Every structure is written in C-alpha cells, then in structure tokens.
Amino acid sequence: MSITDLAGLDARLRGWRHHLHRIPEMAFAEHETSHFVAGALHDLGFQVVTGVGGTGVVASLTRGRSGRAIGLRSELDGLPIDERSGVAYTSEHPGAMHACGHDGHMAMVLGAAAVLAGEGFDGTVRIILQPAEEPGRGAQAMVNDGLFERFPVDRLFGLHNHPGSPAGHLLTRSGPLMASEDNFTIHITGRGGHASAPHLVVDPLVIGAEILLALQQVVARSVDPIHSAVLSCTDLRTDGARNAIPSHVTITGDTRSFDPSVQALLERRIREISAGIAAAHGATAEITYTHEFAPTLNDDECVAIAGEAAARALGQANVELDADPIMASEDFGVLASHVPACLALIGNGVDPGKGGTPLHSHDYTFNDGILTAGVAYYREVAIGGLRTGKRGGN
C-alpha cells in the first residue's frame, strides 16, 4: 500500500493527532491520553487491555488461524515544556507539551490499526502504547507487568520522527541505532572557610574543576577509538557564597554509548578519576552512577522486513538501511532486548517551521505531512512480518 492509497484517511489522522497534541500528560499520568487511544482502538474492533505497566494500552486484532503475531509500538507521554509553537491546537495543559512528536506517533499507529482492521491478514496485530518513555521507565514497567507473556509477539516495530531528515524518508540500521544513557552525580566534600584564608580550607570548587577537566579526557584517552561514547558534565553547584569558599560541590552529567563494555568503562573511569583527584587534595568524592536507558539494538531480520516494507510503502529511493547511529536514547531499547525488534526513524522535514525544528524544543511541531507515510509503512511491515512467519519459521 502506497501513501497515495491513504489520502482519504489523512483528515482523520490529523484529527487524532491534533486532539492528542492538546492533552499532553507526563510519565505514568497519561490517563486522558490512554482513555482516548483505548477508545479509538476499541471502536476499530480491537480487543483492548488498559493499565499495562501503569497507563499502558495493548490492543490486539486476530484474523485467520496463524499463531504469528506482530507488534507496533508508540509512546504516550509528553514533556514538561511550555509550548510556544503557535499552532491552533496548542497544548491545553500548562507546562506540558508534545515536544517529541509522540502525538504523531500515536496517530500513526491508530491509522495503521484503522487500515489493518479492513485487511484479511493471517495472524495477530498488537498495538502497544507505552507510558513514560521520556524518563526511560515505561518499557520496563510494561515488561514487569508481563507484556510479552500476556501479549506475545514474534517481532516488534516502532517509528520515531526525525527532524533534519527529508519528510517521509525512512532511516534505520542493523545493530546499534540509538545509544544508552547513564547518569552520574559526583559529590565532593572538602572544608570551607573565609575567602580571605584559602590556606585554611580544602577547596572542593578547585577539586571539582580538576575533576571536570579530567573527565573530558576519558573518551579521548580511555575509550577505544572504534567505539562511540559521549561523557558530558552538565551542572556544577556549590554551597559557597561570594566571600565564602564552599564545603560541598556537586557535579552532574551523563554518558552515552552503544556497548555494555563501554558503559562499564565509563563508570569505572569516572569513579577512579573523581576519587583519586579528591583524595590527592585531602577531600572525598561520593559517586552515584545509574543506568537510565538501554541502547536500541535492531535485529537483522527485522531490519530486512522493515526495509522491504518501507520500499513498498515509500519507494526505494526514500529508504536508508545503513543510517548513522545517533547518541540520543529511546526506551524502545528495553523492549528490543526482549524480542526481535526494529526501530526506524522517519524524516520530519529539514527546514525550521516545516518539520526541521529540533525535538524537545518549545516551538517544535510534528509534520502532519508524514502521517500517511507512517501508516503506509506500518501496514506493510505488519503484513510483511506476518507473512514472513515466526523467527526461524517459514
């Protein structure tokens, strides 16, 4: 099915998207959003289960006798951002906004559900709507609630809009597509005192500055150059004053990588460098390091199915199956660690104001012009995935 075959669905897609854009809700509080998408899927003839992993929704439609099942996943949550996009259907929830395009992602899976409801496929299509993607907690919550035991799938597919790429172009790759994210906090304790007598103190601000600069060498001098990694210190706070040297300094930041061994290396070097520099000055450093997002690693067979589906739906010229990985993170990675899966990026547009405004911006807008492209892709990937059969099957 090509994009032109879906012209009659366009107004409905825009209506869904604009309504969802007006009602953004934060992680695990997507009650109105879940109610709306559950109702729409029920009206399309799907069997709907709500409350999965908190506010998650799973809708299933079975045709024929096959035991095969394909999952299509979208996110539910928005971001705590005051909207300044200027669109007529702006957020009605102050301090909340769909600044990552999850409203568009939901509209696309709803559109796919509408199209598939009229198809004669053989197997089960499951629409999975996940809460709390932005903080990286919702996927694991659904897994912990028995997502894949209660609603088994042979393969899982997802789309995320990608500002900066031509509208409707699909990009993906086998293996690492999006990075892990780990967070760290370094709390340095020295001895504060009067700014006029620095010889009587153990200055944690100077120590923190040394640690911050030393950490900038970790990727360049500790990580194998064939691997990708990012280490960013993003905040430094003290309890000092204009005329008082502080006793405490806190540095926060995050790291990004694709390989668990690199994650472990980054954590180890942060701990060694921070503790070592602090000890050399007679201070202490307490380090907290947490794993927030798993890397998104695409399955080879799923990528092949996605590529064939995208070529049928969008045209071969609009498909790139060797896209560069990106250092941003997506909670889809947790789901992809449990079942064979493929996340793809769909171009949102290049020019600012026409889909090219970066994600998580207060003036970001989802490009309605790519909704039918997403639906066409999802239809083809669901039908193609069911025809391919279970992993290892015929």
109, 23 contact by CB (below 8 A): no
Please count the other Cβ atoms lying within 10 Å of the Cβ belonging to residue 197.
Answer: 9
- Rounded Cα–Cα distance for residues 302 and 322 (Å): 14
Please count the other Cβ atoms lying within 10 Å of the Cβ belonging to residue 248.
Answer: 17
Nearest-5° angle of CA 99, CA 162, CA 71? Answer: 90
Locate 377 and state its tokens.
């892709």
The alpha carbon of 143 is separated from its chain's Cα centroid by a whole number of angstroms, namely 16
For residue 42, say whether it is annotated as part of any ligand binding site: no
Locate 147 and state its tokens.
């997502």
Hey, is 271 helix, strand or coil?
A: helix
Quote helix, strand, coil % in the chain, to nearest 5.
35, 25, 35
For residue 134, say whether it is annotated as part of any ligand binding site: yes
Please count the other Cβ atoms lying within 10 Å of the Cβ belonging to residue 1.
Answer: 18
- Helices (H) and strands (E) counted in the chain, each on its own, are 11, 16
74, 109 contact by CB (below 8 A): yes
For residue 160, say whether it is annotated as part of any ligand binding site: yes
- Rounded Cα–Cα distance for residues 16 and 394 (Å): 37
- Rounded Cα–Cα distance for residues 75 and 47 (Å): 19
Q: Which residues are bridge partners to 153 per DSSP?
A: none
For residue 102, say whether it is annotated as part of any ligand binding site: yes
Task: Write b or e for each residue in 345-363: b if 16 or more Cβ atoms lie within 10 A of its Cβ, otherwise e.
Answer: bbbbbeeeeebbbebebeb
Locate 41 and state its tokens.
């899927």
Q: Which residues are bridge partners to 347 per DSSP?
A: 162
Hey, is 6 helix, strand or coil?
A: helix
Residues near 377 by beta carbon (within 8 Å), at least 6 away in sequence = 159, 170, 309, 310, 313, 314, 344, 346
98, 79 contact by CB (below 8 A): yes
Binding residues for Mn(2+): 100, 102, 134, 160, 360
Annotated binding site: 100, 102, 134, 160, 360
